[in-house]
Every structure is written in C-alpha cells, then in structure tokens.
C-alpha cells in the first residue's frame, strides 16, 4: 500500500472553536494556532510550509490567516500556539510572514457575523528548496506564488467556523 503525504491535527477537528478564533476585529477568541503533524513527505523534500486560507471571506480574493515557511525538512509537527511569533514555539529558522490581517503569525477565523459558515483550509507544502528566500514582510500573494513554484506535494485539512 502506498503511504500518502498526510496532515493531521489533535486540536482542531471539523469545527473551529473559540480556541482558534481571532482575538480582535470584534472576535473574542484565544487566537491559538492548532497543533499540526504530518507524515510520509515525498522524496526530495527540503523544507515545509503551512498556510491557512479562507476562500469564503467576502473580499473577492479570500483571506490568508497563516503563512509559515522555511520549516526544516526534519520537523514533522507544530505544537499548538506555534503561530504566536512572540512565543518561540515555531521551529528554528522558520518564517511567519504577514497575513491578510496585516500582521505576522497566526490570525484565526473571524468571519463577519451572519455571513454563514466559512471553510478554513490548512495546507502543508513539501518544498524542493530549503528556503524560499522570502522574509517576514512578504505579502501573502508573493508567498503563494513561491509555494506554487516550489511545491512537490501538498496535503490539507479543512475545518469550518461561523459567527452568529
């Protein structure tokens, strides 16, 4: 049996909670990034990147909630809260760039009240380069372009969240 590249989480299932919800912009969550682990990375993986994206945001272009890249190839887990750039919980040498909130690190779900259920797609990218050569001020679209150009394989998990 072929083993497939897989992303898992012990802290978020099919539904997000106040633990993951953003703190700010009218949201009252804890803004804690979920624990994530992955296995069976493809041959040739030099580093990893993780993104979290909401395609349902009423922006015309979605919303980037988290971009962390240059994760060393020997790392296979992010602990809960690693998206807090001040915590020191992210892997050494990894970079967390700005999100659609205009700040670095994890920015949890905060869909508009009454806008319905939004999906949050967390994706791990196995990359063919050890470093994307980008920095913490890089715009999400530029990070995305570089991920597209350097991804060998990717795996995702999806959770849903709404504010009533």
- What are the tens digits of pLDDT across the range 40-93? 999 999 999 999 999 999 998 999 999 999 999 999 999 999 999 999 999 999
What is the pTM assigned to this prediction? 0.96
As a whole number of Å, the CA-based R_g of the chain is 15
Q: What is the pLDDT of residue 81?
A: 98
Work out the percent of the chain whose per-residue pLDDT is above 90: 95
Residue 31: how many other CB atoms lie within 10 Å: 22
- Please say whether the beta carbons of 66 and 83 come within 8 A: yes
Residue 148 near residue 2 (C-beta atoms within 8 A): no
pLDDT at 1: 60
Q: How far apart are CA 51 and CA 68, in angstroms?
A: 7
Residue 129's pLDDT is 97
- CATH classification of 6-161, choosing from 3.40.50.300, 3.90.280.10, 3.30.1330.40, 1.10.1420.10? 3.90.280.10
pLDDT-derived band at 164 (thresholds 50, 70, 90) equals: confident
Instruction: Give the CA distances from residue 87 to residues 39, 90, 108, 114, 153, in Å, rounded to whole numbers and listed in that order.
Output: 25, 8, 16, 33, 29
Distances in Å between the alpha carbon of 53 and those of 64, 149, 160, 161? 5, 18, 11, 12
pLDDT, position 43: 96
């Amino acid at each position: 049996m072929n083993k497939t590249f897989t992303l898992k989480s012990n802290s978020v299932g099919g539904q997000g909670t106040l633990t993951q919800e953003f703190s700010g912009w009218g949201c009252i969550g804890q803004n804690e990034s979920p624990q994530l682990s992955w296995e069976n990375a493809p041959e040739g993986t030099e580093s990893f990147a993780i993104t979290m994206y909401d395609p349902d945001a009423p922006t015309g272009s979605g919303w980037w909630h988290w971009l962390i890249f240059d994760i060393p190839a020997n790392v296979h887990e992010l602990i809960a809260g690693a998206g807090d750039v001040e915590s020191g919980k992210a892997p050494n040498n990894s970079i967390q760039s700005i999100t659609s909130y205009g700040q670095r690190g994890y920015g949890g779900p905060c869909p508009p009240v009454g806008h319905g259920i939004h999906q949050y797609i967390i994706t791990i990218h196995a990359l063919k380069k050890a470093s994307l050569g980008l920095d913490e001020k890089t715009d999400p679209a530029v990070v995305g372009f570089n991920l597209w150009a350097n991804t060998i394989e990717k795996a995702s998990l999806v959770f849903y969240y709404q504010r009533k």
